[in-house]
Structure 1
Amino acid sequence: MTSNSASVEQVVKEGLDIVVLREPATGSIAEIIPGIGNNLIRFESGDHPVIEPPARLQKLQQEAFAPFQYGMPMLFPPNRVHKGRFSYRGREYELPINEPPDFHLHGELCKRAWEIVEKGVSGDGGAYVTSRFSYASHPGLMAYFPHSLTFTVTYRLLAGRLYLEGAIVNDGEEESPFAFGLHPYFALPFHRGKEIILHAPALEEWPVTSQATVKGLPSRTELSRSLNEGVSISEYSELDCSLITLKEGGATCRIDVPDNAYSILFRLGPEFPYLVLFRPDWSSAYSLEPYTYVTDAFNLPYESERTGARGLMPGETFRFAASMWTEALG
C-alpha cells in the first residue's frame, strides 16, 4: 500500500514474515517482525542506521536470548526478577527461570507471536502497522500469570520519525501486577573509535549491580548531573549498566556522533520514569531502556512511589508512547 512517498508491505526474509514501512523521501525504513515479539528489528532514518538488527534474522529463532538482544524488544516485566518470585496483593507469583540459575529475565512477550490487526498508509502519508497480543490466548502464560492483559501496539513512520503508540488493557476481573519496558539497541560506531555523547534529562542514579539489580536508594551523582549536559559513552564498558530516574514530564534523550555529524533522538512519554543504560558485548550498539519500574521493584523494601511498583486494575488501560529519529549535527 502506498500514498505519496510512504508505503507498507509484507515480505518474507529468511523464512520470517516482515512488515516493512518505507519512506524514500526521508531515507527512512522500519522493519517489524510480528511473529517474534512484534520486534522493531531495523530502523534507518535520514539514511543513518538507528536500530541494530542481528546479522541473521534466524538467530531470533535459533538462540534463546536473541529475541531480547536485537532490535527493540518489548519487555513484560523488564529486566530481572530474583528467583522468578514475587508477591502482590497477597498473591504469590513464580515466573520461569530463563536465565539460570537465579533469574527470570525480560518476560516472554518479546518471544511470542503477535497478530496483525491493521496496516496501511493514513491520509497524512504515514505508513503504519498495528498488532496485538492477548495473554488470554496463551494458557501456558496464564498458568503462572493469571491475568487477561491485552497489548495493542502501533508503529507509524512519518516525516522520517518512527512513532510507537501502545495500550495495555486489563480485561480480567482482578488487579494485575504491572511492569513494562522497551529495550532499543541503538546502532553506534563503537568499533570505529568514534566519539559518542549521550544527553538525558536525569534526576538521580540508583546504585545497581552489573545485572541492574538495585542495591539501595537513588541519589544525585556525577553521572546523573553530567547526563544533562552530555556524557561521553565512547569508553562505556561492555556489559556495564546504569539506572537513572528521569525528570518528570517525559524525556528526550539524544546520542550525538560528532564525527559523522548526526544525532539519534529518542522521545519518551512520562509513563516511563526510569531509564537503564546498557552496552552489549555482542554488537556495536547502546541501549536506553525506558521502564515503568526499577528492576525487581516488587521485591524491594522501598515505597512503591519510589520504585514504580504498581498494579493495573480491572478495566484499566495503560497507554504509552515513544518516538525516534535522526537529525543533522551542526
Structure 2
Amino acid sequence: MSKYSAAAVVKEGFSVIMLSDTGSGAIAELIPEIGNNLYRFECGGHEIILPPASLHSLRHETFADFKYGTPILFPPNRVKNGSFSFRGRAYKLPLNEPPDHHLHGEICSKAWEVVGCGASPEEGAWVTSRFRYADHPEIMAYFPHLMTFTMTYRLVDGRLILEGIIENEGVDEAPFAFGLHPYFPIPFGSGEEIVLRMPAAAEWPVTNQAFVTGRPEATAFSRRLREGVNIGDYPPLGCSFLSLDQGGDRTCRIEMKDRGYTIAYRLDHTFPFVVLFRPDWASALSLEPYTYVTDAFNLPYEHELTGALGIQAGEQVRFTTGLWVETK
C-alpha cells in the first residue's frame, strides 16, 4: 500500500484537496475555490505554512486572500494608481487597495479548476489546478491577454514541490509579473534565536510598501544574509527587497535554533528577487519570490535590471519551487 494519498474533502463547506505522505508525517492542503491557496503544510510535527483561523475567514476577512497560506500573485505587490504602459499599450488595473493602488492581482482570490489529482509510489501525492483569463471577462476587460496558469503541487518524501506553467495563449506579447507569497510561522517575541540564510546578491532601497526608490546595492544586510542573520527582532511590517545570486544553490533557510529544525525553501532562476515581509496580523515571515521588482513597468531603470519583461504569444514560463523541513 502506498504511503501517499490525494483526496478531495469538505471542510467548513469548502472543497479542499488534501495531499498526504504518511512516511514523512506530511500533510498539505489547498483550497482551489479561493485562489488555489496552499493554506496548510505540516511535516514531522512542524507547521511550515501559516493557515488562516478558519477557511471562512480566508473568504470573508478583508484582504485575507493574500494574508495567509501561499497566495499566487499576478502581478505581485503594488502598481501605483493601477496604471502602467507596456509596448505602447496603456493598462488600468482596478484599485483594490483604495485609494491609490492595485495590489497582488486577482488570481489569488478567484476559483481555480482542478484538472487532475492522484497518488502513486513513483509520483507522490499531487494535484494540478488551472486558471484561465479567458473564463473571466472582468479581467480580460483591463488585461486583454489569454493567460493560462497551471500549477501542480506534489508531495513526495516529505518535500512539497510546486511545478508551474504560465502560458500566453493570445496573439500579443503580454506584460509578465508573477510571484508567490508563502507565510512561514515564526515565534517572534519568544526570545528564541531564528536565523535566516539566503543567497542575496544586493538589496533594493524601498518604502514600507515595497516601492523601489533607487538602484540595488550590496549592503551590510545582504552580505550578512549569506552567512545568516538573526531575525528574531525583524520589525512588524518590515520589508526588505533582495536580488538573489543567479548562480549556484538558491535555497533560503529559516533555522529555528532552539527548536532544532529548519524550513528550507528552494527557488529556481525564474525568480531573480525575494521580498522579506513580516506581517503585523500574525507571527510569521514571508519570503516572496518575484519575477520583477514592485511596479517595475513604471520605473526609469533598464528592464533587464527590474524584470519588467513580457511573455510572447505562445510562450510558456515554467518554474519549480521546493519546500521541506531539515532536522538536526
Fold shared per TM-score above 0.5: yes
| Aligned equivalent of 1:226 | 224
In 2, distance between residues paired with 1:325 and 1:216? 34
Q: Which moved more, 1:56-65 or 1:239-248?
A: 56-65
Deviation by residue 1:26-80 (Cα, 9 ceiling, x = unmatched):
1100000011111100001122110000111111111230000000000000000
- Per-residue deviation, 1:314: 0.4
Asked if the contact 1:197/1:257 (under 8 Å) is kept, the reply is yes
- Per-residue deviation, 1:4: 1.3
In 2, distance between residues paired with 1:10 and 1:179? 31
| Aligned equivalent of 1:31 | 29
In 2, distance between residues paired with 1:255 and 1:161? 16
Equivalences for residues 240-251 of structure 1 within 5 A: 240-249=238-247, 251=250
| Aligned equivalent of 1:299 | 298
Equivalences for residues 196-275 of structure 1 within 5 A: 196-249=194-247, 251-275=250-274
**Tell me, what secondary structure is at the counterpart of 1:42?**
strand
In 1, distance between residues paired with 2:107 and 2:28? 20
| Aligned equivalent of 1:287 | 286
**Tell me, what secondary structure is at the counterpart of 2:126?**
strand
In 1, distance between residues paired with 2:208 and 2:16? 34
**Tell me, what secondary structure is at the counterpart of 1:218?**
coil
Asked if the contact 1:32/1:40 (under 8 Å) is kept, the reply is yes
Equivalences for residues 101-180 of structure 1 within 5 A: 101-124=99-122, 126-180=124-178
Q: Which moved more, 1:302-311 or 1:10-19?
A: 10-19
In 2, distance between residues paired with 1:200 and 1:287? 13
Which amino acid is 1:271 matched to? T
In 2, distance between residues paired with 1:157 and 1:146? 35
- Per-residue deviation, 1:192: 2.9
Asked if the contact 2:2/2:121 (under 8 Å) is kept, the reply is no
1:314 aligns with 2:313: yes
In 1, distance between residues paired with 2:96 and 2:189? 30
**Tell me, what secondary structure is at the counterpart of 1:228?**
helix
> Taking structure 1 as reference, are residues 191 and 20 closer, same or farther at Cα in structure 2, changes over 3 Å only?
farther
In 1, distance between residues paired with 2:90 and 2:16? 38
In 1, distance between residues paired with 2:242 and 2:269? 14
Deviation by residue 1:250-302 (Cα, 9 ceiling, x = unmatched):
61000000100000000000010000000001111100000000000000000
The alignment of Structure 1 onto Structure 2 pairs a total of residues equal to 327
Asked if the contact 1:5/1:125 (under 8 Å) is kept, the reply is no
Deviation by residue 1:201-223 (Cα, 9 ceiling, x = unmatched):
00000000000000000001011
Asked if the contact 2:26/2:158 (under 8 Å) is kept, the reply is yes
- Per-residue deviation, 1:122: 3.1
- Per-residue deviation, 1:151: 0.4
Deviation by residue 1:134-192 (Cα, 9 ceiling, x = unmatched):
00110000000000000000000000000000000100000000000000001122243
Deviation by residue 1:1-37 (Cα, 9 ceiling, x = unmatched):
xx51111111111111110001122110000001111
Which amino acid is 1:213 matched to? F
In 1, distance between residues paired with 2:182 and 2:60? 21
Q: Which moved more, 1:172-181 or 1:246-255?
A: 246-255
Deviation by residue 1:76-128 (Cα, 9 ceiling, x = unmatched):
00000000000000000000001111110000010010000000013415000
In 1, distance between residues paired with 2:171 and 2:280? 43
**Tell me, what secondary structure is at the counterpart of 2:55?**
coil
Asked if the contact 1:8/1:121 (under 8 Å) is kept, the reply is yes
Which amino acid is 1:209 matched to? T
Unaligned segments of structure 2, at least 5 residues:
none
Asked if the contact 1:4/1:125 (under 8 Å) is kept, the reply is no
Structure 2 residue aligned with 1:19, among 9, 17, 20? Answer: 17
Asked if the contact 2:4/2:120 (under 8 Å) is kept, the reply is no
**Tell me, what secondary structure is at the counterpart of 1:254?**
strand
Runs of 4+ aligned structure 1 residues displaced above 3 Å come to: none
